[in-house]
Every structure is written in structure tokens, then in C-alpha cells.
Chains A and B, each alone.
Chain A
């Protein structure tokens, strides 16, 4: 399963990078969303997908049977942060469009006043 997951993660990263490199702002933001999904799954897979019980203490479960809780804690933090970043990006894009009237990255070059 881990090998298939690794390939899927690679695919997610590939799609995300491709989107991030494009010119349209909204595609870039979608790309960052995909990137965080890929990263979450990467952390999960790194820890191993074994274990038969969720990491919640219950009677009659061996310690070794619990799924690794550490990646889950990391991912939980990451999910919330990526939410904050995505919403920040969205507002940035929205304001940039309001001010500049475009969502094309190539038209948003930052150094036009260098002569």
C-alpha cells in the first residue's frame, strides 16, 4: 500500500507544482491547496500505514496496535495552517485583482519602476 501511496503523493506534488507554475492566480492557489494535501499524505505515509486501532486509548488494545499518533498530530497542525494560508492567498488574489484588474502573474511584475 505504501508504494502506491508514494506514487499517488508524487502525482499530487507534480500536479500541484504544475499548477503553481502557471500564470493564472486562481490556479496557483488551487495548486497550493493540492500541495498541502500531498504533504499531509506524505507525512502519514512516512510514519507507516500499519496499526489496527485509532490512537485513542481503549481497553484491550495492545500498545503496538495503535496507529502512530505523531504524524497525525503534525498533520492536524498542518491542516489548520494550510487553511489559514489558503484563505490569506484567496484574499490576496481578490485584492490584487481589485487593484490591478488582472489575475495574470506575468502582468504583475513587481519591478516595473526600475529604469
Chain B
């Protein structure tokens, strides 16, 4: 089966969304849309047995064969895991959105079309084996994210957030494209699999480090790593289902996917390991630290997402260590990649449910400001239970899945202290320390999130709405995810066998051949070891700090506002916008004349310089035709007519003189044996003059425009320049025939091949019929334009300008 086409199923389904929305308004459009991710999820689930045994599936279709561009769907453990996440979380999010977005008030057709577009884009990203199609889908995720963040486009903040995410992720995407191009030059192929196959050769190439850094820029901007994370908090203006889907579970993980996918190529490099692990870990710390500064529920979750993405990123960086250690699959270095994938799954489950909880709280109380919330425990018991499960998992408490992956994270970080390449022996100790501090703050903000919302004193007078439990339909999706959080804790090894190990093989092909080789067994109890003490420390110190949170949280307000990265971005945008405006104002005067002067000036400069720099200017006098008497007479008429136009005071005279010039040209056509042209020109000139007179009848009788002498002189100079240029071009064009004229072919075959006698007409309707077809199309367009201008009578509406 060509499952490559399944990537496009969502976007094809999106074609029907507006129809369904318009014609079946009484049924929420989301119910129809829900079918798509469910079907896809079931299909991808049937592929699980294949990948669990280490199998791979490829399906492709040629898109632009001449450029070797194809869309290749490559399914192995890693891409199947992501596909399942995309469709699975997608289905839950669509279900949730049915209750979150009101069918009568919201623009559902827009929403679901964007969402389906995103689903196609995301499936394309994770399944593409071809670099160029990967890039295309990658940018498509940015665009659909832009549209979804700006979904409530009447709000200023939404538009700002949408633009910010677009600017940063598209910047990264372009950098990544550069990296891809370098990679394709190095490996002489666009296929990722083929690049991985020749990975050892690539490392010595001089482009290697450049490609590495550019690809990482793409991954870091997409996955909101420091210092590019600033778009993610602003993206929280999107409707909550979107935040849960794009900005925590799937799109922001595209960067992680990219890093995981390219690990086999780049793992050999120390730069790679330092950048991925270092930036990731620092982001983890930074995000968790500043999550406590936030007042908005979704902002807390946004910073927490930044932090958790950093955590997974650092694990992926650490997994590169396995490349340098001999027989790493039997040492402590084997855990990093497994932990990365494991935590990625866990994060999708608990963060998805937490976002949905934040949406429920927002929906039922009317606010997301954590200072106004509190004491919702008794009013919303089910929501509270879900929130608690999610938060405790995020904090790393048993018996939730977050505990297991957090333990492995600590193991992996401790293992880096034993790694003695790339000066890790000196700095390696920093990793577990930073990881530990980040984990402490993670613990605190998880508790902050759940207890400051649901515990404490209820403040009904601060809430815009009277709080009550959400409808059952809205609770289904987060409850399901919370259930998964619990279930995964008890069956981690089944999850490992089916989902994680096949993905690990894709990340570390240099260690394993088949998923069965991955010798990792997850268990909740490892005995008393450093990880155990670290976890105990996190619980104790974290608990203590959370207890005293109210005393020291104010310290966050002391951070200077004007030194933040956000301010840097704002200033950059402001300056670039202002600079671009000033620069355009330099030459965009608003006078058409100025633009014409630029055009004519460039024409003269470019044509003349080409003419003389390439020695193209030649005059030959041996192929001239003799000068005839009639020609001279007509020429005189032509020049006289032109001069009359130039000096005529009255317009009528100018128009008549133009007619005279036109008739002279027609006479030239007669003299130079072009009967068709002469006929056409005569008739056209007649009709044109009639038209001129008709329009002239409506125009003001006397033109009041007075032109100063300087103005006229300037024009004259440019005009003279153009005139001289054209003369030189005409002379050189006539004097050298570099290629034989194609006309010989026409002359020879006109009767035998085309069955005609009038060569000009046969060229028009037969040899070059395409030109004529387009020409009459232009005629038709001109006719439509004229009708539009006259019949529709679009008047200038004063004061209707958008910005007024």
C-alpha cells in the first residue's frame, strides 16, 4: 500500500470542512474531523509489529523527477512513534476542541482546516526521507502554527504571538535548509538514509561543522531552546486545544525529532554533543526557573514545556556519547537515548492533559490568572484529579510515568561525569548539578501549578464566571491521558518493547541492529544509588522551597525587564521595521515618474555597459538595403508627426499627429512588404484615434499642468539616453546574426507541413499558436478590466482606510 499518500489524507479531508461547516451547522464540524486522526492512528498502529521487530517501510512518489525531488515516506521505529503521537494526541485534541470551541460562535471551518493542514505537515516532517520535502513540510508546520496562533485574529496579542513564532521558526527553517543543502552537496544525495549510510565519510568534509550548526539552528528554534524559546510563551494566545497539540505534544518536538534523526550523522562531533546537551540542559534549567515567575496558567505550562524540551534535548545530546565509548550498549551510556524517547512519550501524555486542564479552568472560570484562582478542588473534583496526576508526573513522583523517565534522566546525566572526551572530564560534573537544580524547580512549579489553582481559598468575587465542573465530553480527553500516565508507570517495559526500543535503534544505529539488542529494563526501584539520593533531595528541597514560596517568589519581580530576550526581539523588530521603512522612503517617492526614471536609467546603464563590455557593438555596412525615395518621404512624415506631438499645445493636434505617425508606420509596413501588418495597423490606428477622441471628450479641456524648464531638461536627458541606447541596440542587432533565423524553417515548410500560404498568418495560428492564444487572452483581460472600471464604478471611500 502506498502509505505515502496517507500523509495527505488530513489536508484532503480539510477540503470538505468548509462545506460541512456551512451545510451541516447543527452538528459540530469536529465530529467529522475526528474521523481522520482516528483512521490514521489505527492504520499506523497496525504497522507496529513490523517496526517492533526492526523492520522498515518505504513508500514514495516522484514529485519533480528532473530535480530529483520526491516525497519519500520512510517508516521506522522513530517516525512511527511520532506518527502515532501526532494522530493519537490529534484525535484527543479534536475531541476536546468539540467541547471547547462553540459551534455557533467560532469560525470552525478555519480552525479545522488549519489543524488538518498542520497534521499533514507534521506527518510529512517525521516520515520524509527526502531532505527537500522534509524542509517543505517543516515550513508548512510553521505556517499552520502561525495561522492557529492567530486564530482569534482580532486580538492584538494573537497577531503579535503569531508573527513572533513565525519569524523565529521560519528563520530557523531557512538556516536548516542551508544545512540540508550543504549535506546534500557533501553526500551527493537528498536521502537521509543514504546520508546516514555514508556518515563516516561526511565527518571529514569541510562543510561538516557548518551543516551541523545550521541544522541545529532549525531544531533549536522549532523546539524552543534557549535563546529562541521566547516565541513559545507568546504562542499561548492560541486556543488551548492548539497549545496542547502543537505547542506541547507535537510541533515543538519536531526539533527533537530532527536531532534524533541526524544523531547518526553528527554524533561523531564534539561540537554536536556539547551544543545539544549543553543548550538542552541550560534550557531545562532556565525554563523551570522562570516558570515560577509566571502568573498565567498557560504561561507556566509554556515555560515548563520549554524546560522539558530542554531535558529531552540534553538526553539526545548525551546519547551521542554512545558513539565514542567502546561497546557502549553494555555500559551506563546506553540509557540516554532510551530515556529521551521515554520522556518524550511521557511528556506528551502529562503535558497534554495539563494543557487541557488549563483550558477547562479558563473555560469554566473565565480567567487563567493564577493569583485570582484557588480552592477549585471542591468545585471541580475530576479536573483536580487529572491536574494532580499530570503535575505529580511532571514533578517526578511515583507512581506516575514521569518518575521513571526522570530517574533515567538523572542516570544519563551522572554517566556524563565518566565520559572523558571533548574535555567532558573537566566540565562533566556540571551536568548532573544543573540537571538536579532544574529538577528542583520543576518540582516546585508543578506543585505551584496544581495547588495554587485548586487548593487554598476560593475567591469567587475575582472570577468573571461562576466556577463549576466541566461537561463530561471535555473531560474525556484529559482523563484518558491521565490514565495513560498511570498505566505507563506499571507497564513501562511493554511500552519500551513496542515503541521506545525501535526508536532507539533509529537514533543509535551504530550501537544496535535490531530493537531486541537494546538491553534496558525499566523498573521503579534500583536500590540505593546516587540517583536515589538525588531524587530524595529533589523532593525534600523542592518541598521545602514550595512551602516557603510566598516569601521568595517576589524576588522574581526584581529581574530587570529591559534586559530580557523578549525586549531584544521587540527592539530588533522595531528597528528593522523602521530601518526598512526609512530605506524604502529613500527611493519610494510615490511619484510614478521617479520609478520610471529608475527603470529607464537602469535600462540605459545595463544595456550600454553590456553592449560595450562584451564588445557586442558592431556596425556592418555590407548587408544594408539601398535607401529608397518613398522611404525617405514616409520617414519625414513620421518625424514631422512626432515633433508635432512634442510641441503641440492643444491635445487635439497631438492626437491627430499621433494618428499621422501611426499611418506612417503603416506605410512603412507597405514599403517593407508586410501586407498583413499594414492592413492591421491601418484599421487599428483608425479605431485608436476614435478611442482617443472619445476619451478626450471626457477629459478637461485645458491642462493646467505647467512644467518647469529644469524638469523638462532632466526628462530630455533621460529621453535622449534611451533614444541613443535603442539606436545602438538596433544597429548592433541588425549588424550581427549570431544564429541563423528560424524563419528559414517556416518559409520552407509552410506549404508542405502546415498547408498554408500566408507565412505570417500560419506562424500566428499554427507554428506559434500558443503566443496567439495568450495574446487573445490578454485582449480579453483588457476588455474585462475596462468593463470593471466603467461599469462597477468603484468610488474612493473617504475614511475607509484600514488604519484610520
A and B touch in the complex (CB under 8 A): yes
Interface of A toward B, CB cutoff 8 Å: 1-27, 30, 33-34, 37-38, 40-42, 44-58, 63, 66-70, 72-73, 75-77, 79-81, 83-88, 90-95, 97-100, 103-106, 108-113
Name, among A2, A4, A97, A104, the residue most crowded by chain B CB atoms within 10 Å (CB to CB). A2
Binds A, one of B321-329, B499-507, B634-642: B634-642
Would you call A77 and B590 a contact (CB within 8 A)? Answer: no
Q: How many Å from the CB of A7 to the closest CB on chain B?
A: 6
Measured CB to CB, the nearest residue on chain A to B654 is A30
Residue in A11, A21, A106 whose CB lies within 8 Å of B718: A21
Would you call A68 and B743 a contact (CB within 8 A)? Answer: yes
- Residues 688-745 of B contacting A (Cβ, < 8 Å): 688, 691-692, 694-696, 698-700, 703-705, 707, 715-716, 718-720, 722-727, 729-731, 733-734, 741-744
Residue in A9, A21, A76 whose CB lies within 8 Å of B760: A76
Q: Which residues of B contact A55 (CB under 8 A)?
A: 673-674, 747, 758-760
Binds A, one of B130-138, B267-275, B591-599: B591-599
Q: How many Å from the CB of A67 to the closest CB on chain B?
A: 5
Would you call A109 and B591 a contact (CB within 8 A)? Answer: yes
Q: How many Å from the CB of B583 to the closest CB on chain A?
A: 14
Would you call B593 and A105 a contact (CB within 8 A)? Answer: yes
Q: A54-B675, A70-B741 are in contact. Are A99 and B642 (CB under 8 A)?
A: no
Binds A, one of B110-118, B142-150, B526-534, B623-631: B623-631
Q: Which residues of B contact A11 (CB under 8 A)?
A: 639, 642, 723
Residue in A7, A51, A70 whose CB lies within 8 Å of B673: A51
Would you call A92 and B675 a contact (CB within 8 A)? Answer: no
Q: Which residues of B contact A97 (CB under 8 A)?
A: 698-700
A57 to B638, CA, bound (A): 31
Q: How many Å from the CB of A66 to the closest CB on chain B?
A: 5
Binds A, one of B46-54, B167-175, B771-779: B771-779
Residue in B628, B700, B734, B795 whose CB lies within 8 Å of A2: B734
Q: Which residues of A contact B672 (CB under 8 A)?
A: 44, 49, 67
A18 to B712, CA, bound (A): 8
Would you call A18 and B646 a contact (CB within 8 A)? Answer: yes
Q: Which residues of B contact A2 (CB under 8 A)?
A: 624-625, 730-731, 734
Would you call B743 and A77 a contact (CB within 8 A)? Answer: no
Measured CB to CB, the nearest residue on chain A to B631 is A1
Q: How many Å from the CB of B602 to the closest CB on chain A?
A: 13
Q: A10-B727, A14-B719 are in contact. Are A52 and B661 (CB under 8 A)?
A: no
Would you call A69 and B658 a contact (CB within 8 A)? Answer: no
A57 to B753, CA, bound (A): 13
Q: A8-B638, A48-B623, A99-B795 are in contact. Are A15 and B760 (CB under 8 A)?
A: no
A-B contact pairs, 9 of them (CB 8 A): A11-B642, A15-B719, A17-B600, A56-B757, A57-B758, A67-B673, A68-B743, A77-B772, A85-B782
Not counting A1-B626, A47-B741, A47-B743, a sample of 7 additional A-B residue pairs whose C-beta atoms are within 8 angstroms of each other reads A3-B731, A24-B705, A30-B658, A70-B741, A81-B775, A106-B593, A112-B590
A108 to B247, CA, bound (A): 48
Q: Which residues of A contact B661 (CB under 8 A)?
A: 34, 37
Would you call A27 and B654 a contact (CB within 8 A)? Answer: yes
A95 to B673, CA, bound (A): 40
Residue in A13, A24, A50 whose CB lies within 8 Å of B722: A13
Q: How many Å from the CB of B9 to the closest CB on chain A?
A: 45
Count of B interface residues, CB-CB < 8 Å: 106
Contact residues of B: prevailing secondary structure: helix
Would you call B591 and A105 a contact (CB within 8 A)? Answer: yes
A112 to B800, CA, bound (A): 14
Q: How many Å from the CB of A59 to the closest CB on chain B?
A: 11
Q: Which residues of A contact B554 (CB under 8 A)?
A: none
Q: A17-B600, A18-B715, A26-B699 are in contact. Are A84 and B782 (CB under 8 A)?
A: yes
Would you call A34 and B674 a contact (CB within 8 A)? Answer: no
Q: Which residues of B contact A42 (CB under 8 A)?
A: 726, 729-730
Q: Which residues of A contact B590 (CB under 8 A)?
A: 109-112
Q: Which residues of B contact A20 (CB under 8 A)?
A: 596
Q: How many Å from the CB of B346 to the closest CB on chain A?
A: 53
Contact residues of A: prevailing secondary structure: helix
Q: A63-B747, A69-B746, A105-B591 are in contact. Are A6 and B734 (CB under 8 A)?
A: yes
Cβ contacts B765-803/A at 8 Å (1 or 0 each): 000100110010011001101100110000110000101
Q: A57-B751, A69-B763 are in contact. Are A30 and B731 (CB under 8 A)?
A: no
Q: How many Å from the CB of B768 to the closest CB on chain A?
A: 7
Q: Which residues of A contact B591 (CB under 8 A)?
A: 105-106, 109
Q: Which residues of B contact A104 (CB under 8 A)?
A: 703-705
Q: Which residues of B contact A93 (CB under 8 A)?
A: 695, 699
Ranked nearest first, the 10 interchain pairs of A and B with the lowest CB-CB distance are: A14-B723, A10-B727, A84-B782, A18-B719, A6-B730, A69-B759, A73-B763, A55-B759, A17-B719, A21-B715
- Residues 655-700 of B contacting A (Cβ, < 8 Å): 655, 658, 661-662, 665, 668-669, 672-677, 680-681, 684, 687-688, 691-692, 694-696, 698-700
Q: A41-B665, A55-B747, A92-B789 are in contact. Are A77 and B764 (CB under 8 A)?
A: yes
Q: Which residues of A contact B674 (CB under 8 A)?
A: 44, 54-55, 67, 72, 75
Q: How many Å from the CB of B354 to the closest CB on chain A?
A: 46
Q: Which residues of B contact A84 (CB under 8 A)?
A: 778-779, 782-783
Q: Which residues of B contact A57 (CB under 8 A)?
A: 750-751, 756-759
B80 contacts the other chain (Cβ, under 8 Å)? no
A80 to B600, CA, bound (A): 24
Name, among B651, B695, B715, the residue most crowded by chain A CB atoms within 10 Å (CB to CB). B695
A95 to B792, CA, bound (A): 11
A105 to B592, CA, bound (A): 8
- Residues 269-323 of B contacting A (Cβ, < 8 Å): none
B748 contacts the other chain (Cβ, under 8 Å)? yes
Q: Which residues of A contact B783 (CB under 8 A)?
A: 84
Q: How many Å from the CB of B226 to the closest CB on chain A?
A: 39
A19 to B619, CA, bound (A): 30
Q: Which residues of B contact A6 (CB under 8 A)?
A: 727, 730-731, 734
B804 contacts the other chain (Cβ, under 8 Å)? yes
A55 to B198, CA, bound (A): 63
Q: Which residues of A contact B775 (CB under 8 A)?
A: 77, 80-81
Q: How many Å from the CB of A105 to the closest CB on chain B?
A: 6
Q: How many Å from the CB of B348 to the closest CB on chain A?
A: 48
Residue in B684, B703, B715 whose CB lies within 8 Å of A24: B703
Would you call B642 and A12 a contact (CB within 8 A)? Answer: yes
Would you call B733 and A46 a contact (CB within 8 A)? Answer: yes
A40 to B698, CA, bound (A): 30
Measured CB to CB, the nearest residue on chain A to B767 is A73
Would you call A38 and B646 a contact (CB within 8 A)? Answer: no
